[in-house]
């Protein structure tokens, strides 16, 4: 099987298991020049499964896109499934948030969101996993998180933080519906913690959304849900993050707790794959309006990933249980 055939088969797997594509449905694939081979694979896979599919290329002359191009919303008319398979630019986060909101506003479309997807993800690892095994682990974790009140995360790198997650149900991308969009590759569970309910420290020793793998560990001090400061031997990184976190008032406020459960995902510096990697967790700051109970209205959303987490849950009934120990599931 050549590379193109492998990518088409990977796309079919995502359509079948995650997006539940049916014959006769209409697919829109949004891509760009740098990722057109992937966009074309998703388009061909949809057609081979009996659906109709159309490609749209992002206008390169306008990139990085800060706002939604006016020609894009009309493309959504009559579509059942949308695939965003384009090169990921950190400066385009506001555009992506606008586009996601437009796609999901009618609750009639299923969105597979993959900014930054690569050919390697399509042909190796995260898009070619045993979906049955991965989904079983996801659902087992989701069951154990019902009735959760508080999450305590620690990690060998120095992370030690408590998050209030009461009433903030977890979501997953392994089953994308009209109500909830998800990423491709899939393999994550997440929730939007209470915005003023996080205290402690995160030590990011993995990767940062839009910026890639960290050269030196980054410590983030958090008080009442808000970033109080960054510390790292990489002073340029600290300076960059101070700038990015000043986009608006809510950019420094906690927005997400995520757990990676895809056994095929690797740590590559590309957060689209990294955040799905088994034995990792990430905490993000910024927008979480599309998560149950989320009230963070920031224009941006930035993830900080750390390795080998231990996760202990305190439940509303007063019980406590450790679900992960040094990155491994213990349930």
DSSP structure string for 275-289: TTBTTEEEEEEE--T
Residues 219 and 235 in one domain: yes
Range of the domain at 187: 131-329
Sheet holding 328-329, edge to edge: 226-231, 218-223, 198-204, 160-164, 148-154, 310-315, 320-325, 328-329
Residues 111 and 183 in one domain: no
For residue 70, pLDDT beyond 80: yes
| Higher pLDDT among residues 269 and 238, named by residue | 238
Rounded to the nearest integer, the mean pLDDT of the chain is 96
Confidence label for 71 from pLDDT (cuts 50, 70 and 90)? very high
Residues 314 and 170 in one domain: yes
Residues 108 and 245 in one domain: no
pLDDT of res. 318? 95
pLDDT of res. 125? 85
pLDDT of res. 239? 97
In whole angstroms, what separates CA 44 from the centre of its chain? 25
Q: Which of 102, 123, 144 is the last residue of a domain?
A: 123
Confidence label for 94 from pLDDT (cuts 50, 70 and 90)? confident
Residues 12 and 151 in one domain: no
Q: Which of 99, 123, 147 is the last residue of a domain?
A: 123
Confidence label for 249 from pLDDT (cuts 50, 70 and 90)? very high
CATH number at 43 reads 3.40.1830.10
Q: To which H or E segment does residue 271 belong? A: helix 271-274
Give the number of other Cβ atoms within 10 Å of residue 10's Cβ. 26
pLDDT of res. 17? 96
Confidence label for 93 from pLDDT (cuts 50, 70 and 90)? confident
pLDDT in tens, 97-117: 899 999 999 999 999 999 999
Residues 75 and 40 in one domain: yes
Q: Which of 84, 106, 123 is the last residue of a domain?
A: 123
Residues 147 and 252 in one domain: yes
Residues 276 and 152 in one domain: yes
Nearest Cα to Cα of residue 152 among 307, 328, 314? 314
Residues 156 and 117 in one domain: no
pLDDT in tens, 256-273: 999 999 999 999 989 899
For residue 289, pLDDT beyond 80: yes
For residue 297, pLDDT beyond 90: yes
Question: How much is the average pLDDT of 63-87?
Answer: 96
Residues 111 and 202 in one domain: no
Q: Check: CB of residue 157 under 8 Å from CB of residue 258.
A: no
* Distance of alpha carbon 209 from alpha carbon 203, whole angstroms: 14
For residue 209, pLDDT beyond 90: no
The pTM is what? 0.87
Domain count, the chain: 2
pLDDT of res. 176? 95
143 Cβ contact partners less than 8 Å away, ≥ 6 residues apart? none
Residues 164 and 111 in one domain: no
* Distance of alpha carbon 198 from alpha carbon 39, whole angstroms: 39
Q: What is the CA radius of gyration of the chain?
A: 19
pLDDT of res. 196? 97
pLDDT in tens, 115-168: 999 999 999 889 999 999 999 999 999 999 999 999 999 999 999 999 999 999
Residues 79 and 171 in one domain: no
């Amino acid at each position: 099987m050549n590379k193109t055939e492998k990518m088409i088969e990977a796309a079919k797997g995502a359509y079948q298991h995650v997006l539940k594509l049916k014959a006769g449905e209409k697919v829109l694939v949004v891509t760009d020049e740098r990722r057109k081979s992937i966009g074309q694979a998703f388009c061909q896979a949809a057609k081979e499964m009996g659906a109709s599919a159309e490609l749209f290329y992002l206008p390169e002359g306008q990139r990085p896109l800060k706002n939604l191009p006016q020609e894009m919303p009309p493309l959504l008319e009559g579509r059942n499934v949308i695939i965003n398979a384009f090169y990921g630019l950190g400066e385009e986060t506001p555009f992506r948030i606008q586009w996601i909101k437009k796609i999901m506003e009618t609750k009639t479309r299923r969105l597979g969101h993959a900014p930054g997807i690569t050919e390697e993800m399509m042909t190796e690892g995260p898009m070619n996993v045993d979906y049955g095994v991965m989904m079983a682990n996801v659902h087992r974790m989701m069951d154990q998180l019902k009735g959760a009140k508080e999450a305590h995360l620690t990690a060998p790198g120095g992370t030690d933080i408590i998050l209030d997650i009461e009433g903030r149900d977890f979501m997953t991308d392994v089953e994308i519906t009209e109500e909830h969009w998800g990423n491709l590759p899939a393999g994550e569970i997440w929730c939007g913690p209470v915005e003023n309910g996080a205290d402690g420290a995160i030590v990011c020793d993995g990767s940062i959304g839009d910026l890639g793998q960290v050269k030196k560990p980054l410590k983030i001090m958090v008080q009442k849900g808000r970033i109080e400061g960054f510390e790292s031997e990489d002073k340029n990184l600290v300076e960059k993050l101070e700038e990015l976190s000043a986009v608006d008032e809510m950019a420094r406020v906690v927005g997400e707790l995520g757990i990676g459960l895809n056994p095929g995902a690797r740590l590559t510096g590309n957060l689209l794959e990294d955040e799905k990697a088994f034995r990792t967790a990430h905490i993000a700051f910024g927008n979480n309006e599309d998560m149950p109970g989320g009230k963070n209205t920031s224009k941006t959303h930035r993830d900080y990933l750390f390795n080998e987490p231990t996760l202990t849950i305190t439940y509303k009934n007063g019980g406590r249980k450790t679900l992960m120990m040094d990155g491994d599931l213990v349930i």
